[in-house]
Structure 1
């Protein structure tokens, strides 16, 4: 049996030469020596990860364990290397004889999958033990996997706002914190919040919208989250700010909210988790929480098309288990079918790319503290996922949409002026 050098095997699978340097533990190398970035396969386990799970899952496994080293970028922000990789990595489909020769040349022993990294979640088909997809039990487990990492880690990555959703940049020079503040205020203005109103914030995270509405608009707010860590942090922050007479965050499934008659409902980053097939019941539930002429603002990641599409294998196993996305058209359809009138819609795709760049910078700047808090594997997962997501937003593979709707009455009262007033920065702050 002829042994094939690892770097040479990569070359044989490519349509054109890589603009990157590939090296491996067997001493082989390919690509320009002066390439700005290089990928080094450190050991046999790394090769086995790449051979047994071709694509983003194998690359992710090797990278998370450190079996695949990337030089020229910080592990907290590998964005530049991913851009180069996406531009240059064009595989061809080998013939069956070629594939057999490559596999045998690299060693058939590498076709035995190594145990996955400890940071990896179960595959979709094995999650049946946690319940049916988007059952309460399984949703709770999925949220726990992603959000109950470490509040201290999130403080380092997200910054003082503790906001893990797309910011809205009023201008190119705005900081991440300024953009998060502007996002919350824009949502408050879209919902036309005024002192004395009642707001329900579903999937409230660490309570950023809850605090903003209570502090700046004098609104009585109920936030709910499936993450116990988030709820505990949020309640402590609310008390620290002296807002506990107006604001409450519950550790609860949104479906357990029994109160009705809210003046407004905000859903900021929850729709991604509930499953496309559950949109009708979800928006129906929110409709029933609103008073007549009450408003709903739905903020969520979408696809640039309206087909249901599951997330990729790496994102599903390491970041958002059971995640599903579709387009804004599907969301608008289900909002309308729930009996709400859609009044406004807009896309913040480029804003999310900027938001992710800010989070990656925070991770890189606080790398040692982040690793000490959650371990290098988890820190690498976050760097890779956020940098890759930034690239996807920039390339219009995913988007972020606001859909603003109202509970119009039977005789046509919608509670809106003839022209929207929410673009005025002054808003209705009390």
Structure 2
């Protein structure tokens, strides 16, 4: 009876998934929170030299029992293995998510909004002067040496959407949607129902006007709110994309961000995370932090990837766009220098020199490899329905 009690206690810890156990005395018991999809059958009472092993390592216990012929499995071995790994996966309990959320509510959220306002609400007319027609303020994707900035930005949007394998009438969320060209293009090309969110009032006004002008009110929505305020009970998306937003989250809130995305994404859904990445973990340089991106933090690949298993994200594909961003910034700097004398008087000479240094300096930082920009394609949980190769991402 002692062995059986120990086995029951150990198996009870496998609370993810669902399975049935038939013990050697004929008793059957279901475990897990889902309907059973396989059965463990004990043919006889197993032999254990050390009964404490049962609780400390149930996988070893079952593996040895199978080797000895004491047990067999009924059902798919894939389901058995999936349940085993599901119950050994990263645990979000090690993060104080409630504490982080409380901290964000107690002033940090308002500070984040102010940080966004200080950079992105300089005025649509200001950005329109030196960005391209799509008003894309993130890394472009130069497929050919002859690509214009606008062509490269459209390539970036299309490349990002292509990775997500969008299907008609699927739901897509863009966290930090900027001036909205991605969600608009997603609706136009793929027929998805797209939602964008931003904290920038200028961007919100710009996106809203674009959607109305194109007559896409039924397919594209934009909201002026924090990503944390999206209710998972109201919203569940097939696909999520976030371009140039992760850098604004802040180091201590990265787990909270990934947890929130997990709650908003359907099981098996795809998440495209596009972010500037540091080469090594380090604080944001003082000048950028003070004058350009207050509150920002550039994580590293090592740092980001290490967080993924704890939030049930599987890394499917990773691509560096470092040289693309260097060229993007070169183009922006050239455009800015050509138009800076046309800017209103409120943008004084000191401001112009600041922005010139920011754009040219960042181009150098990408070119010399001090910082990178990376696209991660992730799935929430295992998704075995995707193409076997990545060729689809690069097809014209």
Q: Specify whether residues 375 and 240 from structure 1 end up closer, same or farther in structure 2 by C-alpha distance, changes over 3 A only.
A: farther
Task: Tell me which residue corresponds to 1:75.
Answer: none
Task: Tell me which residue corresponds to 2:249.
Answer: 274
Q: Specify whether residues 131 and 423 from structure 1 end up closer, same or farther in structure 2 by C-alpha distance, changes over 3 A only.
A: closer
Task: Tell me which residue corresponds to 2:170.
Answer: 197
1:399 aligns with 2:365: no
Unaligned runs of 5+ in 1: 1-129
Partners of 2:378 and 2:314 lie apart in 1 by 5
Task: Tell me which residue corresponds to 1:298.
Answer: 273
Partners of 1:377 and 1:218 lie apart in 2 by 46
Partners of 1:275 and 1:415 lie apart in 2 by 34
Q: Would you say the 8 A contact 1:353–1:390 is kept in 2?
A: yes
Partners of 1:227 and 1:146 lie apart in 2 by 9
1:423 aligns with 2:396: no
Runs of 4+ in structure 1 deviating by more than 4 angstroms, as ranges, are 130-134
User: Counterpart of 1:192 in 2: which secondary structure?
Assistant: coil
Task: Tell me which residue corresponds to 1:285.
Answer: 260
**1:245-264 alpha-carbon deviations (Å, 9 max, x no partner):** 11111111011112432110
Task: Tell me which residue corresponds to 1:365.
Answer: 338
**1:209-255 alpha-carbon deviations (Å, 9 max, x no partner):** 11121122111111001111110111101111222211111111011
1:252 aligns with 2:222: no
Partners of 1:218 and 1:373 lie apart in 2 by 42
User: Counterpart of 1:366 in 2: which secondary structure?
Assistant: helix
Partners of 1:235 and 1:220 lie apart in 2 by 15
User: Counterpart of 1:374 in 2: which secondary structure?
Assistant: coil
Q: Specify whether residues 133 and 399 from structure 1 end up closer, same or farther in structure 2 by C-alpha distance, changes over 3 A only.
A: farther
Partners of 1:159 and 1:372 lie apart in 2 by 23
**1:252-303 alpha-carbon deviations (Å, 9 max, x no partner):** 1011112432110001001001012211111111011111211000000011
Q: Aligned pairs, how many? A: 292
RMSD, matched Cα: 1.9
User: Counterpart of 2:270 in 1: which secondary structure?
Assistant: strand
Task: Tell me which residue corresponds to 2:323.
Answer: 350
User: Counterpart of 1:163 in 2: which secondary structure?
Assistant: coil
Partners of 2:238 and 2:128 lie apart in 1 by 31
1:377 aligns with 2:377: no
User: Counterpart of 1:331 in 2: which secondary structure?
Assistant: helix
Q: Specify whether residues 415 and 381 from structure 1 end up closer, same or farther in structure 2 by C-alpha distance, changes over 3 A only.
A: farther
Partners of 2:383 and 2:394 lie apart in 1 by 23
Alignment of 1:314-329 (within 5 A): 314-329=287-302
Q: Would you say the 8 A contact 1:204–1:223 is kept in 2?
A: yes
Alignment of 1:226-265 (within 5 A): 226-258=199-231, 259-265=234-240
Q: Specify whether residues 298 and 425 from structure 1 end up closer, same or farther in structure 2 by C-alpha distance, changes over 3 A only.
A: same
Selected match of 1:206 from 179, 191, 195:
179
Partners of 1:387 and 1:134 lie apart in 2 by 33
Question: What TM-score results when the alignment is normalised by the length of structure 1?
Answer: 0.65
Alignment of 1:56-75 (within 5 A): none
Task: Tell me which residue corresponds to 2:308.
Answer: 335
Q: Specify whether residues 413 and 342 from structure 1 end up closer, same or farther in structure 2 by C-alpha distance, changes over 3 A only.
A: same
Q: Would you say the 8 A contact 1:363–1:383 is kept in 2?
A: yes
Unaligned runs of 5+ in 2: 1-102
Partners of 1:320 and 1:137 lie apart in 2 by 15
For the pair shown, which has the larger CA radius of gyration, 1 or 2? Answer: 2
Q: Specify whether residues 264 and 383 from structure 1 end up closer, same or farther in structure 2 by C-alpha distance, changes over 3 A only.
A: same
Task: Tell me which residue corresponds to 1:220.
Answer: 193
Partners of 1:375 and 1:245 lie apart in 2 by 42
Partners of 2:317 and 2:383 lie apart in 1 by 16
Partners of 2:314 and 2:107 lie apart in 1 by 27
Mean CA deviation greater in 374-383 or 131-140: 131-140
Selected match of 2:118 from 133, 145, 151:
145
1:184 aligns with 2:154: no
Q: Greater relative contact order (Cα 8 A, min sep 6): structure 1 or 2?
A: 1
User: Counterpart of 1:223 in 2: which secondary structure?
Assistant: strand
Q: Would you say the 8 A contact 1:231–1:250 is kept in 2?
A: yes
Partners of 2:343 and 2:309 lie apart in 1 by 43
Question: What TM-score results when the alignment is normalised by the length of structure 2?
Answer: 0.70
